[in-house]
Structure 1
Amino acid sequence: MTERPEGFQRVAAALARAGHPHPPRWLDVAARTAQEAADVLGVTLGQIAKSVIFRRQSDGVAVLVVTSGDRRVDEKRVAAQVGPLGRADADFVKATTGFSIGGVAPLAHLQGPVTLIDRELFRFDEIWAAAGHPNGVFRCAPDELLRLTGAPVADVVQTVSTP
């Protein structure tokens, strides 16, 4: 077995330290989007816990929103909780999290972000999150994600209209 990338190893170590029962899984193909991950894992799009990074304007701190793959983050709702936001480019994401876009895990960041876990993830018993690399994922329950991150639950997605 080839040695896995540093970001994947960092997430694996953090999960092990936390006593998480499911080690991260290495996929044969990269899953850079929530849809790609859902397709590879054979789960619904909503079960993918996607990580969206913003840059808080007041201090340049990373703001991580972890939401369901079938939802869109409402930037105004996030800003109402953490302050005005700016865009986070790929260099900012890599420098603050240690992960490349498409592999940003909800934990084991180089610099601790302000993190919000979206309530929409609780529609599912089991979710899958990135494990520090586009080929890495790990499984958990939404409650486990709260324990692993220490983050609060928030309503931070665009309103979904039901037919």
Structure 2
Amino acid sequence: MTPAITLLERKQVPFCLHEYTHEPDAESFGGEAAEKLGVDASYIFKTLVLQLDCGELLVAMVPVLEKLNLKQAAKAAGGKKAKLAEAQQVVRSTGYLLGGVSPLAQKKALPALLDESARHIDSIYVSGGKRGLEIELAPEALCKLTGAVYAPLCQTTAGVNQ
């Protein structure tokens, strides 16, 4: 049981759990999840913690095979620049280990952005709070629980792969 699952059960939000055996040498957590669960990777979203130029942290959720556009994420959050938060900041603010960061039930509630591609999908997969555990739920439920807003977050040209 993770804080994310506890939250979903407490709020009585419909969801499905999907577990798989995580391989420590996997190159991509999301790619591994898609392959092992037999799910199209466009439905699996990674959770990235960013730091704005003002120092504020935020969560960005994008499809695992897409590249995050840091400038677009910063703009959507009302900032000018953003960078990936340092690992220690991520663990400290979310309470989750890297590779298992869930957007749900984080230690500190952070502003959240969900890539607009999720708007047209009935259900998406996000980390359940540990490696090898994915939660499938409706994007609208995810937005309601996290306060996330839809925004264009993915690269359309070559750029940073985060």
C-alpha distance in 1 between matches for 2:86 and 2:67: 18
C-alpha distance in 1 between matches for 2:65 and 2:12: 29
Alignment correspondent of 1:65 = 60
Q: Which amino acid aligns with 1:75?
A: L
- Segments of 5+ residues of structure 1 without an aligned counterpart are 1-7
- Segments of 5+ residues of structure 2 without an aligned counterpart are none
Asked if the contact 1:12/1:23 (under 8 Å) is kept, the reply is no
Residues 1:42 and 2:35 are matched in the alignment: no
C-alpha distance in 2 between matches for 1:122 and 1:26: 25
Summarize the Cα distance change of 1:13–1:142 in structure 2 as closer, same or farther, 3 Å threshold. same
The correspondence for 1:101, drawn from 91, 98, 102, is 98
C-alpha distance in 2 between matches for 1:113 and 1:99: 13
TM-aligned CA deviation for residue 119 of structure 1: 0.5
1:2-61: CA deviation from partner (whole Å, max 9, x where unpaired): xxxxxx521111111221222534333357621001011101111101111111231x33
Alignment correspondent of 2:121 = 124
The percentage of counterpart residues that share the same residue type is 27
1:116-161: CA deviation from partner (whole Å, max 9, x where unpaired): 0110123432211101111221111222222222211111111269
1:7-156 aligned within 5 A: 8-29=1-22, 33-58=29-54, 60-82=55-77, 83=79, 84-156=81-153
State TM-score, norm by structure 2.
0.84
Asked if the contact 1:16/1:23 (under 8 Å) is kept, the reply is no
State TM-score, norm by structure 1.
0.84
RMSD: 2.0
